[in-house]
């Protein structure tokens, strides 16, 4: 399967701990996105990369959050000093920037974070 | 700024009857609109997309949607529901030059046998 993969699928942590999630995009895709989805809501945009450059960050992404895409392939999302309000599904998506006005974003299965 | 409003949080239909999931959008510029489906424990999947070509858009699994600019609507329909259609459906808007998808709050579709 050559879709977007995310690891881990589930993470339970205690408040105050740091967590890191990984996303592997579809191999030829140069854009990578992170979204967050809380219960009963639609996904909300957090940040996106084109190759290794982080081009946009949402105001939702507080200074406890950091995302990297060091070689323009996989990406990591780290949350420091987790809070209960960080409990959510973290979704990764990737796309290939081309000539069309919209480049379809393909989503991974998500990482469900529970902060106790 | 752009946004979408999904008018129903939950829709129940009997198997074999039509499906209608409603979505209204707001956008300062010409939008592209999409419907995504999310099955439990699976990733979001694109059902169909409108990108300023034909206003009636056909998608996968027999779904279609019509872009109505005068009504700022993009409702999703299917003539005959199947049990496998039970899922969460999201209406999504994006504006050209802006990379972030803006999702609605979702409509949970339940199919009654």
pLDDT tens digits for B14-24? 999 999 999 99
A1, pLDDT greater than 60 = no
Rounded to the nearest integer, the mean pLDDT of chain A is: 92
Residue B18, min C-alpha distance to chain A (Å): 24
At B41 the pLDDT is: 76
At A100 the pLDDT is: 60
A72, pLDDT greater than 90 = no
A103, pLDDT greater than 90 = no
What's the whole-number mean pLDDT along residues B38-60? Answer: 88
* pLDDT tier for residue A102 given thresholds of 50, 70 and 90: low
Q: Are strands B31-38 and B44-50 parallel, antiparallel or unpaired?
A: antiparallel
Within 10 angstroms of residue A96's Cβ, the number of other Cβ atoms is 14
pLDDT more than 90, % of chain A: 78
At B30 the pLDDT is: 81
| Chain A residues in contact with chain B using a Cβ-Cβ cutoff of 8 Å | 3-4, 31, 33, 35, 40-45, 48, 55-56, 58, 91, 93, 100-102, 104-110
B97, pLDDT greater than 80 = no
Residue A104, min C-alpha distance to chain B (Å): 8
SS3 A85: helix
What's the whole-number mean pLDDT along residues A8-23? Answer: 97
Rounded to the nearest integer, the mean pLDDT of chain B is: 92
- Using a CB cutoff of 8 Å and minimum separation of 24, what contacts does B43-50 make? B43/A3, B43/A4, B43/A91, B43/A106, B43/A107, B43/A108, B43/A109, B43/A110, B44/A43, B44/A91, B44/A93, B44/A107, B44/B90, B45/A107, B46/A104, B46/A106, B47/B76, B47/B89, B48/B76, B49/A102, B49/A104, B50/B74
Alpha-carbon distance A100 to B26, whole Å?
Answer: 22
Listed range (A88-102, B61-75, B81-95) with the worst mean pLDDT? A88-102
Of residues A93 and A103, more confidence is placed in A93
Give the angle A41-B72-B26 at the CA atoms, nearest 5°. 50
């Amino acid at each position: 399967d050559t879709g977007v993969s995310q690891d881990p699928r589930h993470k339970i942590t205690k408040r105050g701990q740091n967590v890191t999630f990984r996303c592997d995009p579809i191999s030829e895709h140069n854009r990578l996105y992170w979204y967050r989805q809380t219960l009963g809501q639609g996904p909300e945009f957090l940040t996106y990369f084109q190759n290794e450059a982080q081009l946009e960050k949402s105001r939702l992404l507080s200074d406890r959050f950091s995302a990297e895409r060091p070689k323009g392939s996989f990406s990591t999302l780290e949350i420091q000093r987790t809070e209960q309000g960080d409990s959510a599904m973290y979704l990764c998506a990737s796309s290939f920037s081309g000539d069309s006005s919209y480049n379809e974003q393909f989503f991974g299965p998500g990482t469900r974070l529970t902060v106790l | 700024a752009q946004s979408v409003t999904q008018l129903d949080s939950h829709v129940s239909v009997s198997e074999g009857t039509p499906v209608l999931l409603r979505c209204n959008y707001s956008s300062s510029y010409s939008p592209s609109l999409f419907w995504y489906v999310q099955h439990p424990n699976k990733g979001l999947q694109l059902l169909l997309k409108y990108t300023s070509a034909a206003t009636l858009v056909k998608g996968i699994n027999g779904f279609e949607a019509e872009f109505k600019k005068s009504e700022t609507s993009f409702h999703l329909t299917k003539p005959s529901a199947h049990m496998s259609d039970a899922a969460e459906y999201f209406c999504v808007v994006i504006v050209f030059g802006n990379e972030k998808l803006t999702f609605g709050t979702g409509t949970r579709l339940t199919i009654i046998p």
